[in-house]
Amino acid sequence: QKAAALRQYEEYAALIEKELGLSPQEETTTLYEAIKAKRIVEPFLKVNKLLSPSKSKGIDHQAGGQEVSFLPTSSSKFDRQTVLKQADQHRDSANYGAAIDLLNRLLARNPTDEPTHRELMHLYVLAGRRHESLRQYQTCLEALAANGTSPDAATEALYRQIMSGQVTPPPAPKPKPVGLPPTPIAVEMEHSTPLAGRREELTLLQKRIQAARQGQGCTLLLAGEAGVGKTRLAYEALRLAATARTSTLIGAAYEEEGHLPYQPFIEAFDRYLAEQHLPPEQHPITHYQPLGASDLQLEHSALFKATATFLVTLADDAPVVLLLDDLHAADEASLSLFHYLARQTRSTPIVLLATYRTDLVASPASPFERLLSALYREQISEVFHLNRLSEQDGTQIITYVLGGDAEPTLLKSITDLAEGNPFCTQEITQAMLKADHLIQEAGQWRMKSGITLSVSAELQELLRGRMHRLGRTIEPTLTAAAIIGREFQFPVLRAVVDLPDGELLDALDVALRGHLLDETESGYRFRHSLIRHTLYNSLSQTRRAWLHTRVAQAIETTTGAQPNRPQPHVESLAFHYNLSNQRDQALPYLIQAGHKALDIYALEMAVGYFEQALNLMDELALADPGQRWHILLQLASCSHILANARKGVAYAEQALALEPTESWQPASHEKIYLYLEAAFLLITSGDMNPAQSFLELAQLEVGEIDENRVEYADLLYYVALWHWHRDAYQQAYDMAQQCLKVAEKLDAPDALARAYEVLALAAHSLGKWQEGLNFEEQRSTLVGANMNFTIAFDAHLCLWEYHLYGDRAYEEVKHTVDQTLQQAERMGALRAIAVCKSVNGVLDYQVGRWLEAEASLRASIQLCRQLGTASCEAIASQRLGDLLTVRGELEEGRSILESGVMAAERAHLRAHCQTRIYAALARNRLAAGDLIAAGQALALGLAASEAHGQCGTCESMLLPVAVSVRVAQGDLTGAKTFADHLDEAAARYSSRTWLALATQARGKLAAARGEIKLAENSFKEALAGFQAADNEVEAAQCQAALDRLRPQLTSPGN
């Protein structure tokens, strides 16, 4: 590597001249001249024999035992032109390395040859060596400056293009073969230490990946503390998989950085498409083609399906392994997509591999912890917990870093300090080498005399000391880089660090050689996140804020970002400004990031950004009611979609409480929208009185505008729903008729469809089955069988669910459902058929006709999937799962319920569906004896219930199982709390079934306390109540409970 040798000499000569005022020794200078001479002559000896031996007048002599060839002192123009021609030929054939070598030799003869410098800059970029391209510009600058000149306009223009990323490497001449791993893995393997102490885990990973060839997809998780080697093991597994002709993809999440929705997946797919020469239009996320549905949940679901289809299509040619590194740091949208893929790819040759840290404290309710709980509960993942290395394995790493054996004392000192952490082991060893604390004698490394290594020494200090010894510019350079993020680009770093470009590139050179950084396609990346954390955490809060400001401003400057225009970097700008000393600048970027997340249906992330914006306004006391109104409007809308009734109402109330100013007035149609949103969310929560208040406020606002507006039709629709939920079916019917007239006058298809929907509901409830089905048919004609825009509550799909816990007799409800089903089948009304079959299944289940119930529920689920009616599918799945659980078919029941969870996530008002599904899952896992999974499912059900508020049907399913789970866990205080809630609900709903549910719960609690007689009386009372309500399943549960009590009630002689 002659070029590197020459550069090393030049850096050394400049350093000792500057620091010590000395020149290199004569023998060093002689070697430098010899290397330079040989570098000049080689192209003429090797490239097409430009100088034949018969014509050469070169002289050979021995210098230090090495042959050195010298050119004639004169050179002709022909020689230079010939070399340039040869370089052009190498470049045209994509042999960039050969072309670079030729041009470097020309520059050695004439360092001020600017066109050659410029060509080298271009060649380095084409070769994928962007850092060296920037370095070449600095070399050109210094050479010209020494001659009293500066670069011309063409050189400066090329430099700017390289900095901005306009000049990029060409695509490879052919797609990367399947047998090669992704680029990051190839780079890592070039510099990393051998894999130590992970043979058993690697063998198991290989077996699981090999099983994918038989169509057995799986989800594998590598868990462990930071630095324990999760990524290294994952990379080795992917490398071996690639050699076995498996398609490998890799993406990563980054901690403490502005999150782009689906970032790890986008990164993985971008890299794969580029390496395989596939068009970017195949990207399932960035080039997703929307359905055009007004229901964002449907679009969200379709995007997930498109991603799964992309991977399944790849797997048609070869098995696929997708690695997501640092999954714990991923955004919520990515975690949801990962969960979806884990469920969908089990029967395909696709392996999902992920790493995550176990040394971070996270709330059980955090998105990542919820994902882990779901994967455990559904039994669709396998976790490999990586422990720290043994002393023997640590010794292997130390020996490799030192390049030879070490004394036992040194080995023990390092392994004791590192405590089995591979990263710490490697860094401590390298730090001691750099600090000149080690000496090699008799083939063994040992610590120098007087050097001790305290076990209590901080790794942070070792790393900082190592960087300090690398040069005075290293630490400030890498500290600024640590603020930018795990990955960073030169233009941003250049704008943050107060160093000339030459010194900055010198610092990056040293960091690259010291394996603190790796070069990426577009910039640089910290070799390990711990290096970045060490630097970041060493800064005071004040300095961090100052640097975050510099970084944000640098991103704006280098990308041309403006606060009021959509930008690709809004997440990073929002992140950095929010941590800066100019936090108000984050507000427009947070709002942009929220809208950007909505554009790709990452609803939870959109809420996160909008909530950050709202909190920022509160913390900084920013008085901008227009901006606050906009944020609250978006939050209310997202809360509606995500079925969080409590938050949605709160946001609407906050917005409507804003006082108008001279410069801002809320739009009337937006006020009406918020009144109706709040009313609807309260209706679904069973809070009819406050819902009525919001409807009245909306009516007052509508009265001030033209009634020939679609807002008036919306108001009538919501009033009709309010009447229907209060069992005032005739008033609901009349109001829906008014809504229909207004919608017909306005020729508004959506308003017409909603009017027909409520007319169908009211007609069914009034016993006008034929008329109701006619309305349903007209609604379907307008919008299709799938109500993709509907805001209807779950009970709108299962109209009779309210009666299942009421006092209507089984025969009466069954007769109504059967008559409706017959009419629906004659008319071919598929949606009505699905609903009827679902309710028939529930009715048959409760009276013990399980074969008929199972057939009806399975038919309903199949039809719902065909139509895309997610709510009805979720409810039918929950009922079928309950049936299978009670019948003892626990694993099939769990599988059905997990499918129901997926359907519930697609439902427009998913919180109600989730409450019911998780309640059934808790019951199923409790029956299986898995208290951990039962507790997790119960926690998720309670969280969903908290989001939507009171709902009689949901409470009837959730509260009884909550009592059972708490009793099984031995938490009798918690069980009593839920039993009290059941008593309150029974008093509120006052039906035979509700009273029996509450009494049954008291029996469970009394039995757990050992109050046997009280338990007996409670179960007998509940048994009678359930029998009177025709609920044979719960009656049988009470009888079984009494049977279990009987041995304790029997005494000798009785």
**230, 329: one domain:** yes
Enter the tokens of residue 64. 């230090």
**452, 472: one domain:** no
Which helix (H) or strand (E) is 583 found in, with range?
A: none
**1022, 1001: one domain:** yes
CATH number at residue 285: 3.40.50.300
pLDDT of residue 858: 96
Enter the tokens of residue 767. 């016993």
CATH number at residue 1039: 1.25.40.10
Indicate if the pLDDT at residue 921 is higher than 90.
yes
745, part of any domain: no
**930, 997: one domain:** no
The average pLDDT across 804-823 equals 70
Q: Which of 37-41, 505-509, 934-938 has the lowest mean pLDDT?
A: 37-41
**372, 441: one domain:** no
The amino acid sitting at 727 is D
Neighbouring residues of 218: CB distance < 8 A, sequence distance ≥ 6 = 208, 211, 212, 346, 351, 352, 381, 382
Higher model confidence: residue 378 or residue 813? Answer: 378
The average pLDDT across 413-427 equals 86
- Which of 47-56, 185-194, 309-318, 680-689 tops mean pLDDT? 309-318
- DSSP codes, 313-364: HHHTTS-EEEEEETGGGS-HHHHHHHHHHHHHTTTTTEEEEEEEESSS---T
The average pLDDT across 643-659 equals 91
**270, 359: one domain:** yes
- DSSP codes, 685-709: TT-HHHHHHHHHHHHHHHHTS-SSS
664, part of any domain: no
The pLDDT > 70 percentage for the chain reads: 84
pLDDT of residue 78: 43
Residue 530 is part of which domain span? 462-539
pLDDT in tens, 317-358: 899 999 999 999 999 999 999 999 998 888 899 999 999 998
Q: Which of 353-362, 661-670, 918-927 has the lowest mean pLDDT?
A: 353-362
836, part of any domain: yes
**466, 451: one domain:** no
Higher model confidence: residue 65 or residue 1020? Answer: 1020
The last residue of a domain, from among 539, 555, 581 = 539
Quick one: which of 860, 873, 855, 812 has its CA closest to 833?
860
**342, 358: one domain:** yes
CATH number at residue 468: 1.10.10.10
Enter the tokens of residue 372. 């882990």
Please tell me the total count of domains within the chain.
Answer: 6
Residues 104 and 120: their CA atoms lie apart, in Å, by 8
Label residue 176 by pLDDT band (50, 70, 90).
low
pLDDT in tens, 666-705: 999 999 999 999 999 888 777 889 999 999 999 998 886 6
Residues 821 and 860 sit within 8 Å (Cβ to Cβ)? no
Quick one: which of 1001, 985, 1005, 995 has its CA closest to 1026?
995
The average pLDDT across 142-166 equals 87
Quick one: which of 969, 921, 911 has its CA closest to 943?
911
The last residue of a domain, from among 368, 385, 402 = 385
Quick one: which of 881, 975, 963, 966 has its CA closest to 921?
881
Higher model confidence: residue 456 or residue 1038? Answer: 1038
The residue assigned the tokens 């409007």 is 633
48, part of any domain: yes
Which helix (H) or strand (E) is 221 found in, with range?
A: strand 218-224
**895, 979: one domain:** no
**355, 251: one domain:** yes
603, part of any domain: no
Higher model confidence: residue 930 or residue 1? Answer: 930
DSSP state for residue 488 in the 8-state scheme: E
The amino acid sitting at 572 is S
Residues 535 and 570 sit within 8 Å (Cβ to Cβ)? no
pLDDT of residue 74: 42
Residues 102 and 106: their CA atoms lie apart, in Å, by 7
Residues 901 and 874: their CA atoms lie apart, in Å, by 7
First CA to last CA distance, the chain: 99
135, part of any domain: yes
Residues 487 and 517: their CA atoms lie apart, in Å, by 9
893, part of any domain: yes
pLDDT in tens, 73-119: 344 444 788 888 888 888 888 888 889 988 988 888 888 999 999 99
**416, 499: one domain:** no
959, part of any domain: no
pLDDT of residue 892: 94
Residues 723 and 726: their CA atoms lie apart, in Å, by 5
Residues 58 and 50: their CA atoms lie apart, in Å, by 13
Residue/partner pairs of 197-201 with CB below 8 Å, 24 or more apart:
197/389, 197/390, 197/392, 197/393, 197/396, 197/422, 198/229, 198/232, 198/233, 198/236, 198/386, 201/233, 201/384, 201/386
Indicate if the pLDDT at residue 173 is higher than 70.
no
Quick one: which of 573, 554, 549, 572 has its CA closest to 563?
573
The last residue of a domain, from among 456, 471, 496 = 456
**122, 46: one domain:** yes
